[in-house]
């Protein structure tokens, strides 16, 4: 299929793909505790139906303990010289949060104006647009792409599940030459983007108990050890005067790829006028190739009901993001050791390590990457940018372990301005269309590159 034929074919499919995206986004498939299971099952069934209708001959349901069902599908390679590509996405979504902050009901997909048009709904970008993009590529080839295909659409990515660690236990099922992890997207609309790194993540809880119970601040303050002051003094050591992480041993490197402009980042983060950004160096270094420590929870008396008393107990939960190539246990250990070494005002801290997960850094020199660069340029008309992300996709490491020789490509129909996990999440139909074209061009280019002049694998 020539580039012109592919573009024309995808344009002819867009009305149907839009309609199916609306159907899928109408389902509140939230796989979090406390939410009904029925919509999750409904979304699973719809994805399986759409794959069958797209020509996938083998579609099955993969059930694991305490986990929403995974949709698994296979299309055999068209000939022995064709490579196999694994396509990944997820059909579950984040909870909508405070629905009063939405401009329209979160599970009623609503058209938006500007930027070529789009749709607003919870999960419509993350990750249902990418599920539909996979289906669009299969439809463009009539269910017979020039590569073998394995399809993995899971249903509990947002909350996390045992499926993250499952692929290495069943490597034959996930064996492939390349995989397209479509749970990401472009740096900005219209800028084709390959994500090459994912920061790792860890959590640590630090707590202080200094008194049996609160004591009058007038009678005891000034000598009685204040647990909240102790904790705040400890937390203040985690960053230097510039706002850079001050914990020794956490890896930081200069970022050589593309990044946001400061204006873009300020807008995306909602930084208030007059507020400085923290840290030094480029934004890519601060966000992707260096560490970040965030206080994500604090247990202390609330201001509204505060008593005039010395605080006996305080606790904080910390979230650490670290370099994609740093060992997760080592990174968490560096933070734990730093906190345990402190004695603010002579008071020891109780430090409890929490969960940790590895980052990921892709190799970018193989034939799948070269095919992807060609495909992205074909779809968007410009050279692709390289970025990383501070977020994590735990399953990527499991899939990479199951297929250690496979190239891992991360791209999709989202963009950094789509409000994923936030109110008024949206996807642009132009980005969806170009993603379908890019996926179609990728399998064409990859299949051609994988064959030598005699039709054998290169």
Collapsing DSSP states into helix, strand and coil, what is residue 86?
strand
92 as an active site residue: the answer is yes
Contact between 388 and 284 under an 8 Å Cβ cutoff? The reply is yes
Collapsing DSSP states into helix, strand and coil, what is residue 366?
coil
Q: Which of 20, 126, 154, 157 is catalytic?
A: 157
Paired strand residues for 205 = 317, 352
Of how many residues is the chain composed? 458
Contact between 180 and 114 under an 8 Å Cβ cutoff? The reply is no
157 as an active site residue: the answer is yes
**Within 13 A of 250's CA, how many CA atoms are on the CB side?**
31
Contact between 448 and 222 under an 8 Å Cβ cutoff? The reply is no
Contact between 299 and 227 under an 8 Å Cβ cutoff? The reply is no
Handedness of CA 28, 31, 37, 38 (dihedral sign): positive
Reading the block at residue 374, the tokens are: 């060609």
362-365 CB contacts, 8 Å cutoff, 24+ apart: 362/196, 362/197, 362/407, 362/408, 362/409, 362/410, 363/407, 364/194, 364/196
β-pairing, 148-154 vs 200-209, is unpaired
Triad 197, 199, 204: Cα angle to 5°: 170
How many helices (H) and strands (E) the chain has is answered by 12, 20
Reading the block at residue 1, the tokens are: 């299929």
3-state helix vs strand vs coil in the chain, percent to 5: 35, 20, 45
Which stretch of DSSP H or E encloses residue 396?
A: helix 394-402
Q: Which of 92, 158, 183, 203 is catalytic?
A: 92
416-420 CB contacts, 8 Å cutoff, 24+ apart: 416/185, 416/186, 416/187, 416/188, 416/260, 416/264, 416/268, 417/188, 417/189, 417/268, 418/125, 418/126, 418/185, 419/125, 420/94, 420/125, 420/126
| Phi, psi (deg, nearest 5) at residue 165 | -100, 5
Residues designated as active site: 92, 157
């Amino acid at each position: 299929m020539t580039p012109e034929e592919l573009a024309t074919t995808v344009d002819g499919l867009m009305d149907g793909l839009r309609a199916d995206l609306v159907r899928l986004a109408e389902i509140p498939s939230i796989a979090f505790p406390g939410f009904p299971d029925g919509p999750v099952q409904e979304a699973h069934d719809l994805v399986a139906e759409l794959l069958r209708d797209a020509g996938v001959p083998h579609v099955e349901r993969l059930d694991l303990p305490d986990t929403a069902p995974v949709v698994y599908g296979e299309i055999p390679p068209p000939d022995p010289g064709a490579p196999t590509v694994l396509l990944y996405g997820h059909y579950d979504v984040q909870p909508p949060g405070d629905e009063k902050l939405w401009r329209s009901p979160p599970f009623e997909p609503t058209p938006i104006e500007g930027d070529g048009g789009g749709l607003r709904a919870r999960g419509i970008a993350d990750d249902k647009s990418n599920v539909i993009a996979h289906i669009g590529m299969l439809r463009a080839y009539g269910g017979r792409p020039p590569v073998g295909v394995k399809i993995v659409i899971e249903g509990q990515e947002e909350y996390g599940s045992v499926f993250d660690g499952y692929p290495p236990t069943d490597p034959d099922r996930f064996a492939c030459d390349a995989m397209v992890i479509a749970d990401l997207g472009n740096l900005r609309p219209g800028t084709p983007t390959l994500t090459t790194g994912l920061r790792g993540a860890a959590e640590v809880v630090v707590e202080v108990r200094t008194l049996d119970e609160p004591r009058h601040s007038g009678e005891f303050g000034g000598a009685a050890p204040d647990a909240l002051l102790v904790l705040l003094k400890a937390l203040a050591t985690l960053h230097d005067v510039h706002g850079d992480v001050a914990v020794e041993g956490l890896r930081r490197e200069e970022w050589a790829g593309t990044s946001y402009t400061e204006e873009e980042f300020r807008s995306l983060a909602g930084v208030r006028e007059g507020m400085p950004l923290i840290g030094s160096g480029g934004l890519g270094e601060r966000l992707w190739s260096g560490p970040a420590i965030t206080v994500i929870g604090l247990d202390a008396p609330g201001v509204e009901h505060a008593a005039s008393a010395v605080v006996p107990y305080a606790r904080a939960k910390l979230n650490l993001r670290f370099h994609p190539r740093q060992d997760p246990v080592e990174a968490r250990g560096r933070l734990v050791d730093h906190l345990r070494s402190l004695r603010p005002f002579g008071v020891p801290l109780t430090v409890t390590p929490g969960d940790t997960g590895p980052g990921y850094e892709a190799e970018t020199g193989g034939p799948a990457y070269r095919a992807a660069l060609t495909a992205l340029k074909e779809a968007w008309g410009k050279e692709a940018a390289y970025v990383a992300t501070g977020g994590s996709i735990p399953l990527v490491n499991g899939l990479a372990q199951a297929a250690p020789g496979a190239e891992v490509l991360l791209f999709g129909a989202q963009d950094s301005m789509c409000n994923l996990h936030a109110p008024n999440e949206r996807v642009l139909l132009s980005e969806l269309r170009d993603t379908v074209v890019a996926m179609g061009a990728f399998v064409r280019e990859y299949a051609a590159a994988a064959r030598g002049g005699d039709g054998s694998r290169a």
